[in-house]
C-alpha cells in the first residue's frame, strides 16, 4: 500500500516538473534560469527514483555481493543530483561559522538517514525523498515569491528611461538626468512623464495610478502643472521642466520606496532571534534524543539499546524542526504588506512603522490642508442686490493689486483675466481693506472696521470664515464669505477611522476658534485645539502622548507636511498627506500618503492590520505545527515522510498566506 502511494507521489512530481518545464519555456511564466535548472534537477531525480522503485531491488540480485554497492552508487547519484547544493551550502555555512541553518539540518538529516540505510542495507528511498520534497517546496516558494514580487514591482515601475528633446524638428531621446531646468520636452502618448514641469502645449489625460493609486485619469491642458511618473494616455504634450530629474517627484518617490524596509519590526527581530536560539536548540535536542534513551534502556532498564530506532527518530526530529516556514514567511509578509500599501498609494518607510500603524488608537489631525483643502474659496454671497457675478467682479478688481490669498480667491471666483486699466485710485488700508475706483465708480472692500470707518451700515454675517463687506458708491452692496473648504471625504474618513477601531480623534489648528469648532462639529471630531502656533502643536501632541503612556495604544499625527515636521517627528507615527512636491514631509514622516484624500489613512491602518494579522497567523500556525510534529516524532508516531510533508506543507502555506498581504484593494 505505502509502495503505491510513494510511486504515485513520485510520478506526480515527475509529471508536474515536466509540465512546469514546458510552461517555463514561455517568457511570460517568468521563471529564472536558476529555477529552470532546479526544475531539471527535480525532474531527473524523481524520474530516476521512480524507475528504481518500479524495477525493485530484484534487479541488483544477479550481481551478487557487488549488487549492494552498485545499488548504493545509483541511489547516491540520485541524491547528488537533487541535493548537492544543499550539501555545499551546509559545508560553506560550517566553514563561515554559520553552523545551524536549514541547509545544515537537511544535510545532517538526509546523510544520517542514508548512513543508517547503508548500515542496514535497507531503504535509501526515504532520505532521497526527503531531500527531493524539500527541494520541491523550496522551488515553489521561490517561484511564488518571485512571481508576486515581479507583479508588484511592475505596477510600481515608474522610473522613466528617457526624455524626448526636440531639436531641429527631430525628436531625440536623452537621459532624463541630463535635461536642464526650463527645457521643453516632448511626452508622447503611452510614455511616462520623466520630469516635473508645466504643460506649454497640448492636452491629454494622465494615468496617475502608479503615483496615487487613483484609477481615474487626470485631465491636463496648457498651463497646468504636471508631475513626473504619470503616464500620458491620449495626446501629445510639450512640457517645460521646472525641476531637475533628481528633484522631481518620481525620483523622490523611487528613493523613498527603495529605501523603505531598512527599519525592522519587532516581529522580525523576534523571528531572527528565535531562529538563532531555536536551531541550535533542536540540534542538541535531536542529539539527546539519539543518545539518551538508548543509554537509559541499556544501563537503567537492562533492555536492548535500539540505537537504530532512536537515531532514526532523531533524524526525523531534525527534518521536522526546520524553521524555514517562519524565517521565510515573516519578513516576506512585511515586504508584501509594504508592497501592497505602495500599490494603494501609501508609502510606509519600514516594517516597524507598519507594526506601529496597526496599533493606532489615537489620530491627531492638523486641520488646514489635511481635513480641509487649504485653499480659500468664495463660499457664499449674501444680502446683495446686484448679480453675484457682478459683485465678485467689483471685489476682484478692487483687490487686484493685492497678493493676499483672499485676493487670489476672489480672482479665482471671478474666473476671467483682470483688466488692471479699469482700476484706479487704489488705496490699501492696512488691517481694514481696500478702496478703489472701478470704471470710475468708488468701491470699498473690507471688514467691519472699514465699513465703520466709511460710515456704511453693514449687515453682520453668521457664517464662519473671512467676511468681506462691499460698499459701492458709499452704499452697502452685500458681503462675500471666503473660507477654507472641508475636503469631500473628510467626514467619511473620520467615520472610517472609528470603524477601524480608532478611539480618539483630535484636531489641532492655528486657525480661529470659531472656524475650528465649526469644522470639528461638522466632521465629528472628539477634541479640538485652536489658535496654536507650530510649537504649541508639539506640546499638545506631547500631552496626548503622556495620556497614552503605558498603554499599547499608539498615536498617529496626520499633517500636510508644511510646518508640521517637528510634530510628525514627535508622534509615534507621523503621516504626511499629499506628498507631491513637499520634501519636508517625505523626510519627516514615517508614512506618506500619495493622495490628498484623508480616507487613505483608514486604508493604511487596515493594510497594516491585515499584514500584522498574517504575521501572527504564520507565527502561531508554524510554531504550533512544528511543536506538534516534534512531539509526535519524539514518541515515534511520525516517520520521516510525515516530517518532510509537514515541513514543506507548512512552508508553502505560510508563504502563500504571506503573499496575501499584497492584496489590499478591497480593504
Q: Does 276 bind other proteins (CB under 8 A)?
A: no
Pick the binder of other proteins from 36, 68, 218, 264 (CB under 8 A).
Answer: 264
Residues 329-368 that bind other proteins (CB under 8 A): 330-332, 334-335, 338-339
Q: Which stretch binds other proteins (CB under 8 A): 145-153, 238-246, 396-404, 610-618?
A: 145-153
Enter the C-alpha cell of residue 639: 516517520
Is the CB of 378 or the CB of 592 nearer to other proteins?
592
Q: Write down the least CB distance from residue 338 to other proteins, Å.
A: 7
Return the SS3 of 192: strand
From the candidates 366, 484, 511, 595, which is the catalytic residue? 366
Is the CB of 275 or the CB of 573 nearer to other proteins?
275
Q: Does 617 bind other proteins (CB under 8 A)?
A: no
Q: Write down the least CB distance from residue 249 to other proteins, Å.
A: 17
Integer Cα distance of 231 and 318 in angstroms: 53
3-state SS of 605-622 is: HHHHHHHHHHHHHHHHHH
Give φ, ψ of 363 to 5 degrees: -120, 125
Q: Is residue 224 annotated as part of the catalytic site, yes or no?
A: no
Burial class (CB within 10 angstroms; exposed 0-12, middle 13-18, buried 19+) of 331 = buried
Angle between helices 324-343 and 599-634 (to 10 degrees): 170
Dihedral sign, CA of 337, 339, 343, 348? positive
Residues 28-57 that bind other proteins (CB under 8 A): 32, 34
Q: Does 104 bind other proteins (CB under 8 A)?
A: no
Is the CB of 238 or the CB of 264 nearer to other proteins?
264
Is the CB of 257 or the CB of 477 nearer to other proteins?
257
Pick the binder of other proteins from 37, 84, 92, 514 (CB under 8 A).
Answer: 92
Instruction: Give the number of residues in contact with other proteins, rule: CB under 8 A.
Output: 33
Q: Which stretch binds other proteins (CB under 8 A): 253-261, 388-396, 423-431, 620-628?
A: 253-261
Pick the binder of other proteins from 161, 175, 225, 258 (CB under 8 A).
Answer: 258
Q: Which stretch binds other proteins (CB under 8 A): 139-147, 244-252, 310-318, 630-638?
A: 139-147
Enter the C-alpha cell of residue 234: 491620449
Pick the binder of other proteins from 156, 227, 347, 594 (CB under 8 A).
Answer: 156
Neighbours of 602 (CB within 10 A): 23
Residues 516-555 that bind other proteins (CB under 8 A): none
Q: Does 430 bind other proteins (CB under 8 A)?
A: no
> How would DSSP label each residue in 284-330?
HHHHHHHHHHHHIIIIIS-----HHHHHHHHHHHHHHH--HHHHHHH
Enter the C-alpha cell of residue 32: 529564472
Q: Which region, left, alpha or beta, applies to residue 437 given φ > 0 means left and ψ of -120 to 50 means alpha?
A: beta
Q: Write down the least CB distance from residue 143 to other proteins, Å.
A: 10
Using alpha carbons, select from 326, 223, 221, 376 the residue that is nearest to residue 621. Answer: 326
Q: Does 210 bind other proteins (CB under 8 A)?
A: no
Give φ, ψ of 465 to 5 degrees: 145, -165
Integer Cα distance of 212 and 510 in angstroms: 28
Q: Write down the least CB distance from residue 358 to other proteins, Å.
A: 19
Q: Write down the least CB distance from residue 655 to other proteins, Å.
A: 9
Residue pair 455/435 in contact (Cβ under 8 Å)? The answer is: no
Return the SS3 of 202: coil
Q: Mind telling me the catalytic residues?
A: 366
Instruction: Summarize as ranges the residues that interact with other proteins (CB under 8 A).
Output: 32, 34, 88-89, 92, 96, 98, 141-142, 145-146, 149, 152-153, 156, 257-262, 264, 268, 272, 327-328, 330-332, 334-335, 338-339
Amino acid at each position: 500500500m505505502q509502495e503505491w502511494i510513494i510511486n504515485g507521489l513520485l510520478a506526480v512530481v515527475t509529471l508536474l516538473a515536466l509540465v512546469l518545464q514546458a510552461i517555463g519555456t514561455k517568457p511570460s511564466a517568468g521563471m529564472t534560469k536558476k529555477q529552470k535548472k532546479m526544475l531539471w534537477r527535480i525532474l531527473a531525480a524523481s524520474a530516476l527514483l521512480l524507475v528504481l522503485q518500479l524495477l525493485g531491488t530484484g534487479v541488483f540480485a544477479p550481481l551478487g555481493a557487488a549488487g549492494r554497492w552498485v545499488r548504493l552508487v545509483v541511489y547516491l547519484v540520485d541524491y547528488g543530483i537533487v541535493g548537492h547544493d544543499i550539501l555545499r551550502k551546509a559545508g560553506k555555512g560550517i566553514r563561515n561559522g554559520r553552523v545551524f541553518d536549514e541547509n545544515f539540518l537537511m544535510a545532517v538529516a538526509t546523510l544520517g538517514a542514508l548512513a543508517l540505510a547503508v548500515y542496514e542495507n535497507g531503504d535509501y528511498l526515504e532520505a532521497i525523498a526527503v531531500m527531493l520534497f524539500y527541494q520541491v517546496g523550496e522551488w515553489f516558494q521561490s517561484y511564488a515569491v518571485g512571481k508576486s514580487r515581479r507583479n508588484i514591482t511592475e505596477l510600481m515601475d515608474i522610473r522613466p528611461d528617457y526624455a524626448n528633446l526636440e531639436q531641429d524638428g527631430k525628436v531625440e531621446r536623452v537621459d532624463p538626468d541630463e535635461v536642464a531646468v526650463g527645457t521643453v520636452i516632448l511626452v508622447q502618448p503611452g510614455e511616462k512623464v520623466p520630469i516635473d514641469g508645466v504643460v506649454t502645449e497640448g492636452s491629454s489625460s494622465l494615468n496617475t495610478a502608479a503615483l496615487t493609486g487613483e484609477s481615474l485619469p487626470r485631465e491636463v491642458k496648457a498651463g497646468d502643472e504636471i508631475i513626473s511618473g504619470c503616464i500620458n494616455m491620449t495626446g501629445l504634450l510639450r512640457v517645460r521642466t521646472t525641476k531637475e530629474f533628481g528633484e522631481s517627484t518620481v525620483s523622490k518617490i523611487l528613493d523613498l520606496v527603495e529605501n523603505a524596509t531598512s527599519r525592522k519590526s519587532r516581529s522580525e527581530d523576534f523571528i531572527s532571534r528565535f531562529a538563532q536560539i531555536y536551531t541550535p536548540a533542536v540540534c542538541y535536542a535531536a542529539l539527546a534524543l539519539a543518545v539518551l534513551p538508548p543509554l537509559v534502556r541499556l544501563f537503567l532498564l537492562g533492555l536492548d539499546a535500539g540505537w537504530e530506532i532512536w537515531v532514526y527518530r532523531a533524524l526525523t526530529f531534525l527534518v521536522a524542526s526546520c524553521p524555514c516556514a517562519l524565517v521565510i514567511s515573516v519578513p516576506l509578509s512585511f515586504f508584501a504588506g509594504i508592497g501592497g500599501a505602495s500599490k494603494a498609494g501609501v508609502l510606509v518607510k519600514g516594517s516597524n512603522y507598519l507594526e506601529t500603524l496597526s496599533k493606532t488608537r489615537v489620530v491627531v489631525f492638523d486641520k488646514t490642508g489635511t481635513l480641509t483643502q487649504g485653499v480659500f474659496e468664495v463660499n457664499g454671497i449674501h444680502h446683495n442686490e446686484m448679480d453675484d457675478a457682478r459683485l465678485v467682479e467689483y471685489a476682484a478688481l478692487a483687490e487686484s493689486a493685492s497678493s493676499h490669498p483672499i485676493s487670489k480667491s476672489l480672482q479665482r471666483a471671478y474666473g476671467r483675466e483682470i483688466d488692471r486699466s479699469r482700476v484706479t485710485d487704489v488705496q490699501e488700508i492696512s488691517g481694514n481693506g481696500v478702496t478703489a475706483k472701478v470704471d470710475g465708480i468708488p468701491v470699498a472692500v473690507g471688514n467691519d472696521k472699514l465699513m465703520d470707518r466709511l460710515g456704511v451700515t453693514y449687515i453682520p454675517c453668521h457664517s464662519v470664515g473671512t467676511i468681506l463687506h462691499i460698499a459701492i458708491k458709499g452704499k452697502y452692496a452685500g458681503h462675500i464669505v471666503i473660507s477654507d473648504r472641508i475636503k469631500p471625504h473628510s467626514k467619511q474618513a473620520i467615520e472610517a477611522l472609528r470603524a477601524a477601531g480608532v478611539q480618539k480623534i483630535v484636531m489641532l489648528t492655528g486657525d480661529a476658534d470659531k472656524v475650528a469648532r465649526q469644522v470639528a462639529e461638522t466632521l465629528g471630531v472628539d477634541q479640538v485645539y485652536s489658535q496654536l502656533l507650530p510649537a504649541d502643536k508639539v506640546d499638545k501632541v506631547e500631552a496626548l502622548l503622556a495620556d497614552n503612556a503605558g498603554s499599547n495604544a499608539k498615536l498617529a499625527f496626520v499633517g500636510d507636511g508644511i510646518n508640521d515636521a517637528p510634530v510628525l517627528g514627535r508622534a509615534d507615527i507621523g503621516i504626511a498627506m499629499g506628498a507631491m512636491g513637499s520634501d519636508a514631509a517625505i523626510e519627516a514622516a514615517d508614512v506618506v500618503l500619495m493622495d490628498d484624500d484623508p480616507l487613505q489613512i483608514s486604508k493604511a491602518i487596515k493594510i497594516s492590520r491585515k499584514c500584522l494579522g498574517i504575521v501572527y497567523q504564520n507565527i502561531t500556525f508554524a510554531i504550533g505545527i512544528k511543536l506538534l510534529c516534534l512531539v509526535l516524532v519524539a514518541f515515534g508516531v511520525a516517520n520521516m515522510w510525515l516530517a518532510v510533508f509537514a515541513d514543506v506543507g507548512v512552508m508553502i502555506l505560510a508563504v502563500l498566506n504571506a503573499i496575501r498581504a499584497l492584496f489590499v484593494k478591497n480593504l
